[in-house]
Structure 1
Amino acid sequence: MDPVTPGGDQDERGVSEMTAVVTLVGIAFILVAGVGISAFLFTGDTSGPPQANFTYEYIDGANALLIEHDRGDEIRGGDLYVDGPDNNVTWASLAGSNESALVVPDDQVQVSEASAYGAIVRSSSRFRIIYHNASLNESVVLSRWNGDTGI
């Protein structure tokens, strides 16, 4: 018979339980870290479209419409479209600026035959200011001008 070492079985058993606990804690840590990283990396932009107000002034003698970013968020000029009955152009092209230039409060553009719009604007024309997010392929109407009614 082999002599039994006092506490011999208990020592081996203690190491085995410790290994199991460390392994479980390690697996739990990896799972929590994986979920946390995926939550940060794969969630979309939930801030929504920008908020902005625009004012309109029709100039009868020039058959033109002045549009001003009155207040609100700064918006990339290439993402902001002026949509009318005859054409749809970016704010940047109307302003003659770079597509990545920001449209900020007090910025103005002229919509007319002489501008990038390229068509006569009548007092009864209707225009929409549209924000287009290319990465999400979504568009939102930020403002409307319904002719000289001002609505």
Structure 2
Amino acid sequence: MTTDLGDRGVSEGAGLAALVLLTVVVTASVGVNVLFLDDEGGSTTEANFSFEHQSQGSYLLVTHQDGSALPSDRVRIKGPDANVTWAEVAGWNGSREVTRGDLVQLSESSAYGSQVGSRDNIQVLYVYRNGSTKVLDEWNPAGGAGDLG
């Protein structure tokens, strides 16, 4: 007894094309997740900082005001003459988190290693595992007069 499949069969070429298409779609979706989504477990990385400049001492106090608790070795402070982690400036172990109320002093005598002038631009950055960065906050973004305290 034989069965005639007639027009109901799928050719090997069509089956192979469907498998290749499925593989491409899955690979593309994984690639998009790796490249464009937050690599910190899907959490949003947001934080606000306050800045207080003291012109007499040429230093800047940076305080975590609000937002995510962040690993101190992933928070970088970038200025015209320095680029250091929060952990380095605070003298912390890198696994300690920066939380609301934590502050660091950027000065020549700290790990920052440079005076902070009233026209300096200072950025607080978050560095993801893949090396990309996000600006969390900024002092003197246009290099203006700044706060003279």
Under TM normalisation by the shorter chain, which class is it? 0.5 to 0.7
Q: TM-score w.r.t. structure 1 length?
A: 0.66
1:137 lines up with 2:131 in the alignment? yes
Show structure 2 runs of 5+ residues with no match. Answer: 1-25
Closer/same/farther in 2, CA of residues 100 and 80 from structure 1, 3 Å limit: same
Distance 2:66 2:146 in 1: 21
Q: What letter matches 1:127 in structure 2?
A: I
Instruction: Give me the CA root mean square deviation.
Output: 2.0
Q: What letter matches 2:47 in structure 1?
A: A
Closer/same/farther in 2, CA of residues 138 and 49 from structure 1, 3 Å limit: farther
Specify the alignment match of 2:83 in structure 1. 88
Distance 2:44 2:146 in 1: 27
Larger Rg: 1
Q: What letter matches 1:142 in structure 2?
A: L
Distance 2:42 2:123 in 1: 22
Q: TM-score w.r.t. structure 2 length?
A: 0.67
1:149 lines up with 2:146 in the alignment? yes
Which portions of structure 1, spanning 4 or more consecutive aligned residues, are displaced by more than 6 angstroms? Answer: none
The percentage of aligned residue pairs carrying the same residue is 36
Contact 1:132 1:140 survives alignment (8 Å): yes
Q: What letter matches 1:68 in structure 2?
A: T
The correspondence of residues 48-63 of structure 1 with structure 2, limited to 5 A, is 49-63=44-58
Structure having the higher helix fraction is 1
Task: Name which of 79, 93, 100 aligns with 2:95.
Answer: 100
Specify the alignment match of 1:123 in structure 2. 118
Task: Name which of 43, 50, 61 aligns with 1:66.
Answer: 61
Q: What letter matches 2:62 in structure 1?
A: I
Distance 1:138 1:48 in 2: 16
How many pairs align?
A: 109
